[in-house]
Amino acid sequence: MQETLSAPLQDVQEDDRSLEFLQTMLRIRSFEERVYRMYLEQQTYGMSPHLSSGEEAMATGVCSVLRKDDYLLGTHRSHGHILAKGAQMRPMLAELCGKVTGYCRGRGGTMHIADFSLGIVGANGIVGGGIPIASGVGLSIKYRGTDQVCVCFFGDAASNIGAFHEAVNFASAFKLPVVFVCENNVYGLSTDYSRVSATPNVADRAKGYGIPGVIVDGMDVFAVYEAAKAAVDHARTGKGPTILEGKTYRYYGHSSSDQRPYRTKEEEEQWRSRDPILSFKKKLVEAGKLTDEQFNKLEADAMAEAEDAVQFALSSPEPDPVTLLDYIYC
C-alpha cells in the first residue's frame, strides 16, 4: 500500500508538489478522524487525543520544506506535524493504544511521540514546552556547524508563557537556525487569543527580537509552503530565526471531550467553508491538475492506510509488565 500512496499520479509534472500536499493533508485528516472514533470506542489510552483537523495546511506546508535530518518540536496537538515529518501511521496508532509496537513502546501516548531517526525530537504536553528546547536544538546545530534547521510548532496561548520570550530572544541574539511556527487557531482551550494578548498577532512580537515576523493564511497550504520555505532558507543560511504565524482553526474541541460551548456554530461554519483540503482540491481541479476520481483515490488510500494502522495497533501486544521500569535510567 505504501508504494501506491507515494507514487505520483501520471499527469503531474515532477516538480509540482500539489498532489503530495493534498496527500499529506488527507493522510492527517483520515488518521485523526479514525483516532476520534477509536477514542469514542475507548480503544485509546491515557490523555484524550487533541486533534488538529482543520489545521492540516500548517503541518503540511511547513514540513514539506524540511529535510529528514532537520528537527521538529511539537505540541499537545502534534499528530499532523509528526505525520508530515515522515512518521508512519502504524507505530503512531499503536502508541496511542499503549502497545509495545508504538513509537515509544506504548509509554508516551498521543502527546509524547518521538522518533530521532526522523528528527522528531518530541511532542509535548507542557504548553510552550517545546519552544526553549527548540532554541537548545538550534544551539546544538550551530555548535556542531551543520546546516540543519529546527522547526518548533506552538499554539497562540503558548506564545504568552515566559519561556517564549527567553527562547526567541536567545535564538535571535545567537542567530540560531530555528523557525518558530505559531498555529494561531483563535483559542487556547476556551480563551480567545485577543482577550488575553497585548498585540493582535503573535508575529507582531518579532519586532521586539529584531527578527522577521510573518503572517500567513494557515488554511492555504501553498501560502504556508512559500512562507515556510523563506523562513527555513533564512535559518539554513545563517540569518537566524523567524516567527511564522498561521491563522487557522481547529474543528474539534480543545480535546476530544470538549463540547465547544464558548464559540458559535456560525463561526465554525465560516472556518469550515475555507477547509484547507477542499479549497486546495477546488484550486487544483480548476487549474486542470486534478480530477474528482484522482481526489477520491487519494482519499480512499489515506483512509485505507488509517484502517490498516488501526488493525495493526489493535492486534499488537501490550508491553510486558516486567518491563515497567525499563528506559527510566540509562
Ligand X SMILES: Cc1ncc(C[n+]2csc(CCOP(=O)(O)OP(=O)(O)O)c2C)c(N)n1
- Chain residues binding Mg ion by CB under 5 A are 155-156, 185, 188
Please, what is the minimum distance in Å from the beta carbon of residue 189 to ligand X?
Answer: 5
Cα–Cα distance, 107 to 15 (Å, whole number): 40
Q: What is the dihedral sign for C-alpha 306, 311, 314, 316? A: negative
- In a 13 Å sphere around the CA of 116, the CA atoms on its Cβ side amount to 1
Size of the site for ligand X (CB under 6 A): 14
Scan residues 252-291 and list those touching ligand X (CB under 6 A): 254
**Which among ligand X, Mg ion, none contacts residue 189 (Cβ within 5 to 8 A by kind)?**
ligand X
Tell me which of ligand X, Mg ion, none is bound by residue 27, counting a contact when its beta carbon lies within the kind-specific cut-off of 5 to 8 angstroms: none
Residues 6+ apart with CB under 8 A from 38: 44, 93, 96, 97, 310
- 319 interacts with ligand X by CB under 6 A: no
Query: Between 54 and 177, whose beta carbon lies closer to ligand X?
Result: 54
d(CA 178, CA 182): 13
Q: Which does 158 bind (CB under 5 to 8 A by kind): ligand X, Mg ion, none?
A: ligand X
Chain positions 56 to 95 lying near ligand X, rule: CB under 6 A, are: 76-77
Give CA–CA dist 214/228, Å, rounded: 9
Q: Which residues of 265-279 are buried (b: 16+ CB within 10 A; e: fewer)?
A: eeeeeebeebbbbee
* Least CB distance to ligand X at residue 319 (A): 25
Note whether 127 binds ligand X by CB under 6 A: yes
Nearer to Mg ion, 155 or 177 (CB): 155
Which of ligand X, Mg ion, none does 126 bind, CB closer than 5 to 8 A by kind?
Answer: ligand X
Q: State the binding string over 219-238 for ligand X (x if CB under 6 A, else -).
A: --------------------
Is-contact 157 79, C-beta < 8 A? no
In angstroms, the CA 242 to CA 180 distance is 6
| Cβ-based nearer residue to ligand X, 138 or 155 | 155
Say which residue the cell 485509546 belongs to: 44
Out of 156, 220, 299, 305, the only residue in the binding site for ligand X (CB under 6 A) is 156
List interacting residues with ligand X (CB under 6 A).
76-77, 125-127, 155-158, 185, 187-189, 254
